[in-house]
Amino acid sequence: MLEARISGRPVDLLFDARHVHQSGIGTYIRTHLPHLEDSAARQGLCLAVLAGRDSLPELRPSTDVVVASDPAAPMYSAAEQRVWRDAFDQIRPRAVWLPHYPYPAARLKPRHRRMLTYVTVHDTIHVLPQSISGQSFAYRMYAQLMLRADARSCRRIFTPSEATAAAVRSIASSARVQVAPIPVDEAWLEPADPSRSPVDGRYLLYVGNTKRYKNLPLLLEAFSDVADTVAHKLVIAGGGATVRTMDERVRQLAEDHGDRVVLIGQVEFAVLRALVAAAELLVMPSLHEGAGLPPLEAMASGTAVLSSDIPVLRETCGDGADYFDPHDREGLARLMRRYCEDDVARAELALRGLSHVTTRQQRIDPALAADSICRELASSTR
């Protein structure tokens, strides 16, 4: 059971790491924590991490630990706001960095008004129409309210892509946005153990949750158009969608294909790497994304990628993928058939992907956000 570790020094920055073991936001937290600890140490800052009782990430002894008052508090909830309030009251940090967009209401209290606030907005899916986001009118209004509060009061908003930055500015033009793309974990560039893959034979792969904006019905319908002419299975891996946000069409369409469609839940990292590396194609059919790491992870694994032709995935995948209109079932089916049947074309696409992700890794500064915050905090004390 996690216990608090408070040094007694004034805390310069509190970072919320409660969701470190989740898939999407957890990857973001795990990627940034080492850089944040490095940056804080270089600038002589006291860093504290807010963690759940059973979800402490690996930290240096010099990093303070604040235990969340409610370990079960979900993201985007009133309970989460109370967790932040309790943490602020306990340690009175000079600044806080929250790795998702809700604005901390406790900052409105007089004793916390001088606290600098930084947030990360991964995407703006929650404000999109219900047909895409799966969210109610009330939830979409809450997201709008939070994003506008961020724009008014946050010192800076970080986004993983230019496309998401533009979407944030379209909601709140005054937002102070900084784009800080995240790299692929270097482990994806290492050889995977093929024996860890839970699926035998030839298959196409989708990795992610089953929320409506992921557009999985298009992929399943396109697969039905090619299933009689290719030997491949379609594997859908991942999870995390709740009943409220899950696309109810997916399971029925999958069941219509019998054992040709394989549904796999969340798996441990080594199994996922093997699953991605052994796939012949990874297909990303999304209608909306914040950045889109699964295509990059597939490219790093030497797997060819077919991607939805939306701005953020064009930005992320560059010339390392082949693209299709996310509303064009026949167009996706043509690409799937071509790359299933043409081994040379598929190998060439995989090489393009590996070249793209390698170049992107060299171009991205993974410490950009952490360094930006810590330099700013250090300069404000001098």
pLDDT tens per residue across span 347-361: 999 999 999 999 999
Are residues 229 and 306 both part of a single domain?
yes
In this predicted structure, the answer to whether residue 382 has a pLDDT above a threshold of 80 is no
**pLDDT tens-digit map of 364-375:** 999 999 999 999
Asked which of 16-25, 139-148, 226-235, 249-258 is least confident by mean pLDDT, the reply is: 249-258
Confidence of residue 251 (pLDDT cuts 50, 70, 90): low
Structural domain containing residue 167: 13-182+364-379
As a whole number, mean pLDDT of residues 224-235 equals: 94
> In sequence order, what are the residues at sequence separation of 6 or more whose Cβ sits closer than 8 angstroms to the Cβ of residue 252?
none
Whole-model pTM: value is 0.89
Q: Is residue 3 part of a domain?
A: no
Are residues 235 and 351 both part of a single domain?
yes
Are residues 176 and 290 both part of a single domain?
no
As a whole number, mean pLDDT of residues 153-166 equals: 95
Mean of the per-residue pLDDT values of the chain: 91
**pLDDT tens-digit map of 19-69:** 998 878 888 999 999 999 999 999 999 999 999 888 778 899 999 999 999
Are residues 231 and 303 both part of a single domain?
yes
- CATH number, domain with residue 356: 3.40.50.2000
Are residues 211 and 177 both part of a single domain?
no
Q: Is residue 7 part of a domain?
A: no
Are residues 101 and 23 both part of a single domain?
yes
In this predicted structure, the answer to whether residue 3 has a pLDDT above a threshold of 60 is no
Q: Whole-angstrom Cα distance, residue 353 to residue 362?
A: 14
Are residues 122 and 34 both part of a single domain?
yes
Are residues 368 and 312 both part of a single domain?
no
Confidence of residue 381 (pLDDT cuts 50, 70, 90): low
At 380 the pLDDT is: 83
